[in-house]
């Protein structure tokens, strides 16, 4: 089973792909393959960002809930 990479690792790989493409010294077929690899890396980055947003939202909800409980205790 493949180990899940970190966001930073995906970004580094994406930067490497972009640098190769920007050089402009690759053949068409290799450029297309690099482009596809870059798109796949972008999708992985986007997926990790979305997962992180969900986690942050869940944590913020617990903060809001605990603030609400604190307000209830202070009123009594």
Q: How confident is the model at residue 70 (pLDDT cuts 50, 70, 90)?
A: low
How far is residue 45's CA from residue 12's CA, in Å, rounded to a whole number?
A: 11
pLDDT at position 64, please? 81
Query: Which has the closest alpha carbon to 34: 6, 9, 7, 15?
Result: 15
How far is residue 1's CA from residue 5's CA, in Å, rounded to a whole number?
A: 12
Q: Is the pLDDT of residue 76 over 60?
A: no
Per-residue pLDDT of 3-48, as tens digits, reads 789 999 999 999 999 999 999 999 999 999 999 999 999 999 999 9
Q: How confident is the model at residue 50 (pLDDT cuts 50, 70, 90)?
A: very high
């Amino acid at each position: 089973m493949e180990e899940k990479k970190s966001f930073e690792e995906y970004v580094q790989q994406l930067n490497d792909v972009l640098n190769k493409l920007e050089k402009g010294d690759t053949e068409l077929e290799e450029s297309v393959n690099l482009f596809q690899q870059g798109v796949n890396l972008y999708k992985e980055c986007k997926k990790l960002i979305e997962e992180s947003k969900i986690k942050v939202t869940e944590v913020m909800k617990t903060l809001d809930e605990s603030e609400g409980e604190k307000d209830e205790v202070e009123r009594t």
